[in-house]
């Protein structure tokens, strides 16, 4: 019996089991053990639960084993690029694997749902131009003045399937303060941000500040990691004795009032075009009021908004992020 087989059988009999216990009960070096665990994970025979330093291994249940060669190649390509699923226990599943797990959880027909997902994704991909979704018309139909243009990198959610891949990543990155997910998002959007700056001849940048207190703030990580070689207009979120986060307000008028009274703009230099960056746009109140304040202070002739994710239908109130 090989060492890999011994490890598998030990996990099968004692699951869930930690690496430390495996080392104590099987005569194997730590480096060799992890090499075999990696192979077993790659073969979908076991799965890892938890995160360092509390990691355990268990046998992968039958309903989690991925069926092979059941989906057309073009469907698989779209799933691998656009589908993302976090299980109820916090496991990250990407692409075909995630889609199969999602369908199994809901007893959906895999073939039918994969085709439906394919059609929806293709429909929205047709709306993209320069890798952006133009939300300017929605902005102009909602607000009298403020930002001049507004672009999404992606929708926060889509019909039938709920939160998009980026929408889910953003939600869990912020709620769990997960730097790995944050950096994955930033790495994905960086080329689009750089192209937007170049194509629109942006000469300054500003960042909408978060309204929910967290030790690790996505917008702070975004600003640091993008490290744009542009002047930055300082945007400050004023915190009152009783904190009222934007996401707790349901009415657009309340969100506008909140944004108008709690965002402060600082700066003296004037720029022609400012790129205003935010992580998510629901009602549009925050990004639009900040843009309006920047223009009223004479700091920009034109403010172009860019958000990681935005609402699909007009301006919905997104309360999760």
Q: What is the pLDDT of residues 135-155, one digit of tens each?
A: 999 888 888 899 999 999 999
Q: Which of 6, 65, 25 is nearest to 41 (CA)?
A: 65
DSSP string, 91-149: -EEEHHHHHHHHHHHHT--HHHHHHHHHHHHHHHHTT-BTTBEE-HHHHHHH-SSS-SE
Closest by CA to 279, choosing from 192, 185, 215, 199, is 185
pLDDT digits (tens, 9 = 90+) for 36-64: 999 998 888 888 888 778 889 898 865 44
Distant-in-sequence, close-in-space partners of 35: CB < 8 Å, separation ≥ 6: none
**CA pair distance 205, 306, nearest whole angstrom:** 10
What tens digit of pLDDT does each residue of 205-257 get?
999 998 888 899 999 999 999 999 999 999 988 876 556 565 666 677 777 77
User: Which pTM was predicted?
Assistant: 0.80
Assign domain 133-310 to a CATH class. alpha beta
Reported as a single tens digit per residue, the pLDDT across 86-115 is 887 778 889 998 998 899 889 899 999 999
Strands 232-237 and 263-266: antiparallel
DSSP 88: T
- Contact status, residue 135 vs residue 118, Cβ threshold 8 Å: no
Query: Across residues 6-28, what is the average pLDDT?
Result: 90
Per-residue confidence (pLDDT) for residue 315, from 0 to 100:
55
Residues 6+ apart with CB under 8 A from 109: 103
**Alpha carbon distance 220, 209 (integer Å):** 8
Closest by Cα among 123, 185, 193, 190 to 158: 123
Q: What is the mean pLDDT of the chain?
A: 88
pLDDT digits (tens, 9 = 90+) for 178-207: 999 999 999 999 999 999 999 999 999 999
| Percent of the chain whose pLDDT exceeds 90 | 55
Q: ∠200-190-267 over CA atoms, to 5°?
A: 60
271: pLDDT confidence band, cut at 50, 70 and 90?
very high
Q: 3-60 domain in CATH 1.10.10.10?
A: yes
Query: In the chain, where are the structural domains located?
Result: 3-60, 65-125, 133-310
Rounded Cα distance between 30 and 249, Å, is 52
Angle 306-308-314 from CA coordinates, rounded to 5°: 75
Cis preceding-peptide flag for 16 (omega within 30 of 0) = yes
233 within 8 A of 206, measured Cβ to Cβ: yes
Domains 3-60 and 133-310 share a fold: no
Whether residue 114 contacts residue 254, with contact meaning beta carbons closer than 8 Å, is answered with no
The position carrying tokens 């059988």 is 9
Bridge partner residues of 236 (DSSP): 264
Backbone angles phi, psi at 51, to 5 degrees: -140, 160
* Residue-level pLDDT at 63: 47
Sign of CA dihedral 64, 70, 72, 73: positive
Phi, psi at 156, each rounded to 5°: -70, -40
pLDDT in the model for residue 68? 45
């Amino acid at each position: 019996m090989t060492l890999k087989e011994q490890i598998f059988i030990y996990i099968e009999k004692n699951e869930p089991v930690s690496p430390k216990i495996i080392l104590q009960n099987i005569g194997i070096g730590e480096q060799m053990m992890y090499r075999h665990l990696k192979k077993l994970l790659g073969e979908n025979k076991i799965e890892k639960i938890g995160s360092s330093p509390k990691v355990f291994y268990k046998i992968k249940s039958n309903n989690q084993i991925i069926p092979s060669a059941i989906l057309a190649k073009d469907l698989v390509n779209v799933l691998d690029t656009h589908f993302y699923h976090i299980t109820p226990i916090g496991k990250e599943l990407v692409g075909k694997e995630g889609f199969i797990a999602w369908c199994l959880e809901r007893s959906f027909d895999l073939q039918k749902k994969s085709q439906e997902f394919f059609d929806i994704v293709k429909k929205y991909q047709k709306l993209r131009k320069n890798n952006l979704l133009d939300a300017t018309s929605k902005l102009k139909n909602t607000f009298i003045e403020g930002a001049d243009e507004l672009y999404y990198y992606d929708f926060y959610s889509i019909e039938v399937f709920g939160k998009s891949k980026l929408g889910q990543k953003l939600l869990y990155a912020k709620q769990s303060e997960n730097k790995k997910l944050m950096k994955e998002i930033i790495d994905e959007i960086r080329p689009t941000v750089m192209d937007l700056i170049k194509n629109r001849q942006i000469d300054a940048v500003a960042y909408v500040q978060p309204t929910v207190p967290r030790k690790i703030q996505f917008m702070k990580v975004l600003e640091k990691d993008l490290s744009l070689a542009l002047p930055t207009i300082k945007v400050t979120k004023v915190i009152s004795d009783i904190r009222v986060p934007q996401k707790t307000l349901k009415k657009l008028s309340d969100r506008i009032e909140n944004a108008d009274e709690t965002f402060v703009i600082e700066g003296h230099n004037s720029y022609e075009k400012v790129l205003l960056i935010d992580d998510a746009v629901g009602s549009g109140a925050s990004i639009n009021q900040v843009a309006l304040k920047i223009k009223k202070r004479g700091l920009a002739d034109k403010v172009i908004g860019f958000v990681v994710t935005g609402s699909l239908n007009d301006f919905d109130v997104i309360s999760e992020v």
